[in-house]
Amino acid sequence: MRRLLWLWCVILWVCLAGGVDGQVRHELPFPAIPGYETLKCDFHMHTVFSDGSVWPPVRVDEAWRVGLDAIAVTDHIEYQPHEEDVPTRHNRSYELAVGRARQCGVLLARGAEITRDTPPGHFNAIFLENVDPLETDDLVDVIKRANDQGAFVFWNHPGWKGPELGRWTDVHTQLYEKGWLHGIEVANGETYYPEAHRWCLEKQLTMMGNSDIHGPDLRLRNTAADHRTMTLVFVTERTLDGLKAALKAGRTAVWLQDRIIGRREWIEPLFYASLEVEPPHLRTNNALWVKMANGSAVDIRLENRGQLGPAELVLPADSVTLVRIAGRNLDGPLALPYTATNFLVAPDRSLDVTLRIPE
């Protein structure tokens, strides 16, 4: 009984020290787009239950702190370097994290990383019901079992051993043709895979961007200059089901370093929802002055495709930029053709946009 008392004291101590209440979160200001809410997500990360170095709830705390709405903890099924100390239990990282996720209101998908030599490489399955059945030899069978559970399956970091080993093989074709492969990581950690970007465009696969983080995330917040690689998912409801539906429908954009990568269909409305141009607050004989507010978390980089307006513009994240448009006869609303150079609709192609300046 006395032993119980001190145990409670220790538990209280840990709670106070570790901080359950009062944790601070900095929302990431990516706007909603017409018809959809924008969730900030990371679907690839590890814990001590495979080769990561943190206890599972740490991944939830990080997500909350840096403004993520949804994550999946995806420990390797086959690669268990800590098994001498942490016996293999494939569902434990989810089970140990989910309580904390509910407290924080962070959506947590049960996931796992299916780990094969390259090619064919590694695959994540998320929205699983049970990871255990996935521990079986034949890769096609594993992916089938994941699909039987209704999982969303994507190919991870396809080129991380070079383009030769990271090529699209017969197994990929097989999985793709059966409809069991739904997406590919076009970005993993700090690396961009242009070939994966092309495959997603050609084959209507969902573009994913994830951190693949193994150690603790030291960030107190995500900033334009230093953030986790993540997937923006455009959902109709903020639930795991809403998320899965959006992923299966391909409604994503990837935020990697200073770039937004995605299908034009999704990054074009994201661009326009991010930018607010006020009517000019000053008109002179030969210029007008406008405030352009970038309400998103990514800097917007613009190159002029026309005559009017600055040749280049940088609109830093989450701030307002003063822009002077020089020229004669600037009455009425203006429509300036620009290219948003860091919004990639294809590996070699940026998003063309029109800056509309109201009257």
Give the H/E segment covering residue 155.
Answer: strand 152-155
Q: Closer CB to a second copy, residue 62 or residue 268?
A: 62
**Residue 318 CB neighbours (<10 A):** 16
DSSP state of 278: P
Binder among 76, 110, 182, 227 for a second copy (CB under 8 A): 76
Binder among 94, 212, 235, 254 for a second copy (CB under 8 A): 212
CB of residue 345 vs a second copy: minimum separation in angstroms? 25
Is the preceding peptide bond at 31 cis, omega within 30 degrees of 0? no
Q: Is 5 in the site for a second copy (CB under 8 A)?
A: yes
Q: Closer CB to a second copy, residue 26 or residue 198?
A: 26
Q: Is 32 in the site for a second copy (CB under 8 A)?
A: no
Q: Closer CB to a second copy, residue 269 or residue 309?
A: 309
Closest CA to 98 of 151, 47, 57, 152: 57
- Residues 168-197 within binding reach of a second copy (CB under 8 A): 189
- Residues 270-299 within binding reach of a second copy (CB under 8 A): 281-282, 289, 291, 293
Euclidean distance between CA atoms 179 and 174, whole angstroms: 9
Closest CA to 151 of 94, 228, 92, 211: 94
From 32-40, 86-94, 199-207, 256-264, span contacting a second copy (CB under 8 A):
86-94
Backbone angles phi, psi at 254, to 5 degrees: -115, 130
From 77-85, 201-209, 251-259, 347-355, span contacting a second copy (CB under 8 A):
77-85
Can you give the length of the chain in residues? 359
Is beta strand 259-262 parallel, antiparallel or unpaired with respect to 275-277?
Answer: unpaired
- Residues 129-148 within binding reach of a second copy (CB under 8 A): none
Q: Is 162 in the site for a second copy (CB under 8 A)?
A: no
Give the H/E segment covering residue 201.
Answer: helix 194-203
Q: Is 102 in the site for a second copy (CB under 8 A)?
A: yes
Euclidean distance between CA atoms 210 and 256, whole angstroms: 9
- Residues 304-333 within binding reach of a second copy (CB under 8 A): 310, 313-314, 316, 318-324
Q: Closer CB to a second copy, residue 201 or residue 224?
A: 224
Euclidean distance between CA atoms 234 and 262, whole angstroms: 12
DSSP state of 297: S
Binder among 48, 108, 233, 246 for a second copy (CB under 8 A): 48
Binder among 31, 32, 37, 79 for a second copy (CB under 8 A): 79
Closest CA to 97 of 23, 45, 146, 135: 45
3-state secondary structure of 144: helix
CB of residue 237 vs a second copy: minimum separation in angstroms? 14
Q: Is 118 in the site for a second copy (CB under 8 A)?
A: yes
Give the H/E segment covering residue 244.
Answer: helix 240-248
Q: Closer CB to a second copy, residue 8 or residue 140?
A: 8
Q: How many residues in the shown chain lie near a second copy by CB under 8 A? A: 75
Euclidean distance between CA atoms 247 and 207, whole angstroms: 9
Q: Closer CB to a second copy, residue 5 or residue 307?
A: 5
Q: Is 17 in the site for a second copy (CB under 8 A)?
A: yes
The answer to whether the beta carbons of residues 271 and 259 sit under 8 Å apart is no
Q: Is 110 in the site for a second copy (CB under 8 A)?
A: no
Euclidean distance between CA atoms 217 and 20, whole angstroms: 18
Binder among 28, 54, 254, 297 for a second copy (CB under 8 A): 54
Q: Is 247 in the site for a second copy (CB under 8 A)?
A: no
Q: Is 159 in the site for a second copy (CB under 8 A)?
A: no
Binder among 91, 98, 103, 135 for a second copy (CB under 8 A): 103
Euclidean distance between CA atoms 91 and 96, whole angstroms: 9
CB of residue 258 vs a second copy: minimum separation in angstroms? 16
